[in-house]
A = this chain, B = another copy of it.
Amino acid sequence: MKELTQRQEQILELIKSNLELKGFPPTRADIAKTFGFKSPNAAEQHLRALEKKGVISILSGASRGIVLNESHSLKNIKNNEIPIIGLVAAGQPMLALEHVEKKLNIPETMFRDNADYLLRVKGDSMIDLGIHEDDLIAVKKEKECKAGQVIVARVNDEVTVKTFSKNKEGKIILKAANSKYSDITLDPKNEDFFLEGVCLGVIKSF
């Protein structure tokens, strides 16, 4: 399913909230009025776009004949609980039960991809990217990553969060986002480097 534009997302939200509040879908005129469109056809075309992208169905000829398709239906709120991982001691696997602080139900659409776990950050090596101590980073397990991505990796059995890149000789360079720390250069053949996952985002609490 293609991604929705911001406007399409808004239209979809309006349909949902109309269903929730009033009990039935909006008309084209309702939509146009809400967003200030001067033509009901603007709404019509947004609906067609949503239908094309598979999020709604339009029942031809029926007034208010807008049906939310399965995944977007109000009824199914998916349970997507992922663990919050605290401090991981050297040599221990990431998802060992002992490290799980609690679980959080993270909506799939919160980050660009579905996260596998949340890792509580220790240290200040990534503050220039807005990642501070005790923040949670959303991590997706991956076997590969691209230059510039924020990753979670094991280096000699220690879990670390850094920005990934490679130099001309094919060596891995791990950069901290903090001028206090200098780069780590690793030879993937000799050194003990293991990619735990890619960082999708950050959750920060005040």
Contacts and interface: CB of A to CB of B under 8 A. Distances in A.
Contact of A77 (B74, B86, B98, B149): B74
Contacts of A111: 205
A119 interface: no
Interface stretch (A21-29, A46-54, A168-176, A181-189): A21-29
Contact of A34 (B98, B105, B205): B98
Interface of A: 6, 9-10, 12-14, 16-17, 19-20, 22-25, 27, 34-36, 59, 63-68, 74-75, 77, 79, 83, 86, 97-98, 100-107, 109-112, 127, 130-132, 135, 149-150, 199-206
Contacts of A34: 97-98
Nearest first, the 8 A-B pairs at minimum CB distance are A130-B130, A202-B204, A63-B63, A201-B205, A24-B24, A9-B102, A105-B107, A77-B79
Nearest to A56: B23
Contacts of A13: 83, 97, 100, 102-103
Stoichiometry, as copies per complex, reads: 2
A104 B104 CA distance: 14
B109 A149 contact: no
Contact of A68 (B10, B23, B67, B75): B23
B203 A199 contact: no
A116 to B, nearest CB: 15
Contact of A204 (B63, B74, B204): B204
A150 B206 contact: yes
Select the residue from A12, A23, A74, A204 with max chain B CB neighbours within 10 A.
A23
B130 A9 contact: no
B109 A102 contact: yes
A108 to B, nearest CB: 10
Contacts of A9: 101-102
B6 A101 contact: yes
Contact of A97 (B10, B98, B105, B203): B10
